[in-house]
Amino acid sequence: MNALPLLLLTAVSGFAITLQGQLMGLMDRSMGTRTSVLITYGGGAVVASMLALFAGGINFQQRTEVPWYAYTAGLLGLLIVGATGYVVPRMGAAKGFTLIVAFQFLLALLIDHYGLLGATQRPLDLTRASGIVAMMAGVWLVVR
């Protein structure tokens, strides 16, 4: 598979997450965390509904094959959006997102290493461990 489309999609996602955090921070300071989360998720719900209705429909046919805990993704999204909107204006975008991403990496390593939550098991090796140590040194430099 060509890696370029995946790289571009990760760039778009990373930029969108950063912009969303900053924009939610603007709303959070003026209207509060709950209101900014409502506006963010409300807008997302409208767009997701339109896409589902007009661009391919909704598929609930295999819903019983999905483990129950997968349905908590929306709740986790609320936590992510609310926490990001609260943290970014108080810590700054660079510091806040550096810590957020560092904790994502730590959990991602555990998920990969043990094959948790349906993930393909990818054991931690010396190269990946060295990368995480280097990344954590970078996190310390940004956050200190």
Q: At 45, phi and psi to the nearest 5?
A: -65, -40
Q: Which of 3, 36, 24, 7 is nearest to 96 (CA)?
A: 24
**DSSP states of 62-102 as a string?**
TGGGS-GGGGGHHHHHHHHHHHHHHHHHHH-HHHHHHHHHH
Q: Which residue type occupies 137? A: A
Give the pLDDT confidence of 59-102 residue by residue, as tens digits. 888 888 899 999 899 899 889 989 998 999 999 999 999 999 99
Q: Flag the least confident range among 15-24, 52-61, 81-90, 101-110.
A: 52-61
Q: Domain spans of the chain?
A: 1-90, 92-144
